[in-house]
A = this chain, B = another copy of it.
Amino acid sequence: MTQAALKPTTSPLQQRAVAHFTDLQNRICEAFESLDEDSQFICTPWDKEKTDTLQGSGEMRLMRGKVFEKVGVNFSEVYGEFSDKFAGEIPGTTADDRSFWASGLSLVAHMANPKAPAVHMNIRHIVTAEKAWFGGGADLTPTFAFDEDTAMFHNQLKSACDSYNKDAYTEYKKWCDEYFFLPHRNETRGVGGIFFDYLEKTPEETFAFVQAVGEAFLKSYSSIIERRKDMPFTEEDKKTQLLKRGRYVEFNLLQDRGTRFGLMTGGNTEAILMSLPPEAHW
């Protein structure tokens, strides 16, 4: 295999996806900074030619603030070839062509106030030899669940789904509940959200949907944090949150496909594990 084979030949849709991911990254970081006075994201661009089979670049943005105890908002664009072991699991990969291109925006926020929920959001576009698709999702993980927050988060995501197709919300909510589940604890990660993958038909509509998911996330989560960030809490509440975060770590390292995908394809470890909480207890 020559290095040339790894050069990305990106379609207009791939270019528009990349432009959207980076624009949304900017807007999310601005919104979060405005919720967390005197705190700022630290940006760490990275560029890797780690192996013969993976190249790419990205930008990690990390804020350790007073409201956002730790939040990572990462953009990446990588391309290369899947290893033998992994290729069989990925749609559109053939025996002759195991190449892939992947770009996405990935976000996890762990909040200082235990009354403020943690959140995850991810949108991505992946292209293999024979297929191209979008995937993503968003889910809310409160330590102390407020019905008002759960309803707002789900309602916003439902609106994004409804504009895409009438069964989307039901289907993607179910997928989320099944995905963000810890079998060894027999418990869900949080109060759910939506999860979707392998959306390869109607790329224009799907891209519009992916954009709507990002907007729904930003609007609802900002509003929830505005409401919760200054709520009073006890030392006991904080301890409860730190134990809940232990479960978050267990999910990410034992179950999460994104983490596994990233680490197995030789991705940027620091960026991938930025999802881990600043502090967790067991």
Contacts and interface: CB of A to CB of B under 8 A. Distances in A.
Given A269-B185, A281-B278, A282-B273, A250 B250 contact: no
Contact of A250 (B183, B242, B273): B273
- Of the four ranges (under 10, 10 to 19, 20 to 34, 35 or more), the interface on chain A belongs to 20 to 34
Contact of A263 (B184, B276, B279): B184
How many copies the complex holds: the figure is 2
A184 B271 CA distance: 11
A51 B276 CA distance: 32
A249 interface: yes
Given A184-B269, A282-B277, A254 B250 contact: no
A280 interface: yes
Interface string A243-276: 0001001100110000000010000010011001
B263 A253 contact: no
Contacts of A282: 70, 273, 276-280
Interface of A: 70, 183-185, 242, 246, 249-250, 253-254, 263, 269, 272-273, 276-282
Across chains A and B, which 8 residue pairs bring their CB atoms closest together, nearest first?
A253-B253, A276-B282, A184-B269, A184-B263, A253-B254, A279-B281, A280-B280, A249-B249
